[in-house]
Homo-oligomer: A and B are copies of this chain.
């Protein structure tokens, strides 16, 4: 399952759905809005393309690693400190593949998927877009 959505997700349910008789290991990455002196983040996506790119990366991971499932949900919209941003769940017979594929997915996502984050400041001032030099 690949989703780019404003909605929050239920990690317990998604993990349960990822259970498969072949899967002995589920490795999960949960990205959360961290308190860097900000109140939250505004997350924007080019959704059609982001979903397409996530599917491409998933396909690469399924070819490279011995995994059975890879689920990704990336949220968009206005999020507060502590809110879920991103969930990746990778299921595999063995743990090494699950860890490697989960890390591959998040590393490539950060480089390739059409999503941008803007910091929202506590004083209401206009924050900066993450990754911008200025």
A positions within 8 Å CB-CB of B: 10-13, 15, 19, 21-35, 81-82, 93, 95, 98-99, 102-103, 106
- What are 21 contact pairs spanning A and B, CB under 8 A? A11-B15, A12-B12, A19-B82, A21-B82, A23-B32, A23-B34, A24-B33, A24-B34, A26-B29, A27-B27, A27-B28, A28-B28, A28-B29, A28-B30, A29-B95, A29-B99, A34-B93, A95-B106, A99-B99, A99-B102, A99-B103
Which B residues are in CB contact (< 8 Å) with A25?
A: 29-32
CB distance from A87 to the nearest CB of B (A): 10
Closest B residue to A13 by beta carbon equals B12
User: Contact: A22 with B35, CB < 8 Å?
Assistant: yes
Asked, given contacts A12-B12, A27-B27, whether A19 binds B32 with beta carbons under 8 Å apart, the answer is: yes
Other CB < 8 Å A-B pairs besides A22-B35, A23-B34, 11 of them? A10-B12, A11-B11, A15-B30, A21-B35, A22-B34, A24-B32, A24-B34, A25-B31, A27-B30, A28-B30, A99-B102
Which B residues are in CB contact (< 8 Å) with A24?
A: 31-34
Which B residues are in CB contact (< 8 Å) with A30?
A: 15, 25-28
Query: Top 6 A-B pairs ranked by shortest CB distance?
Result: A12-B12, A24-B34, A21-B35, A28-B28, A26-B30, A11-B12
